[in-house]
Amino acid sequence: MRYYPIFLDLRDRPVVVIGGGDVARRKVEGLLDAGATVTVVSPYLHPNLVALHGQGRIIHIPRHYQPGDLKGYALAFVATDDPSVNASVAAEGRDSSVWVNAVDDPPNCDFIMPSIIHRGELTVAISSGGASPAATRKIREELEEFLGAEYPLLLEVASEVRAELRQRGVSSDPETWNHALGGEFRLLLRDGKRDEAKEILLQTLLEPAKTK
């Protein structure tokens, strides 16, 4: 099947993670980074999760999963090595309209997790639709080498210029932006000349407005 790519705003959204091992730890850390309110259901907690619970950053229910545990949550992650638990959580999710991700078990998933690259505010998600996690990882590693320090800086400067143009009541079409984000602007960014790059970008985008 083909999945629909999406980025979710999970700030202050309640999310439950079933399982408390290392896989659960990685899921929890990513969810906390996205601002979610996380509950972990597991009789055992990874040491890092113990620390997070001690800091008051997660809620811990110290037992195995029970039917009804998904009630009130926006998303559920299953991070156990028990296929029967995966199936039970997936069934409850379908009955209660809670989206479920069961790690490495696509048939029991409503959504799958892509391989992620973070560069400042830039996020790149790569997925093979579950066809080959190994190939997805290799592609991610190659993209990590390609996406150097220039790219988050490009995003940062472009965001600032966009805000300034809005304050001036100036709008630019996508083609003008596409042209402006290349050429001399990119060369200046690669040389670390942030302020000069920003000025060039601003001038390039303002020029069409002056001729109207």
- Average pLDDT per consecutive 10 residues, the chain (212 residues; last block may be shorter): 88 98 96 97 98 98 97 97 95 97 92 90 88 89 90 94 94 92 93 94 83 53
Dist. CA 92–CA 97, nearest whole Å = 8
Please give the pLDDT value at position 209. Answer: 59
Please give the pLDDT value at position 207. Answer: 83
Q: Judge whether 153 and 194 are in contact, CB under 8 Å.
A: yes
Dist. CA 156–CA 206, nearest whole Å = 18
Please give the pLDDT value at position 211. Answer: 54
Select from 113, 133, 168 the last residue of a domain: 113
Q: Which domain holds residue 159?
A: 150-210
Q: Domain check: are 20 and 90 in the same one?
A: yes
Select from 65, 97, 113 the last residue of a domain: 113
Please give the pLDDT value at position 128. Answer: 86
pLDDT digits over 165-184, tens only? 999 999 889 999 999 999 99
Select from 62, 94, 113 the last residue of a domain: 113
pLDDT digits over 126-161, tens only? 998 878 888 999 999 999 999 988 899 999 999 999
Q: What is the count of structural domains for the chain?
A: 2
> Is residue 122 situated within a structural domain?
no
Q: Which pTM does this prediction carry? A: 0.82
Please give the pLDDT value at position 210. Answer: 58
> Is residue 132 situated within a structural domain?
no
Report the interhelical angle of 150-167 vs 183-190 (nearest 10°): 130
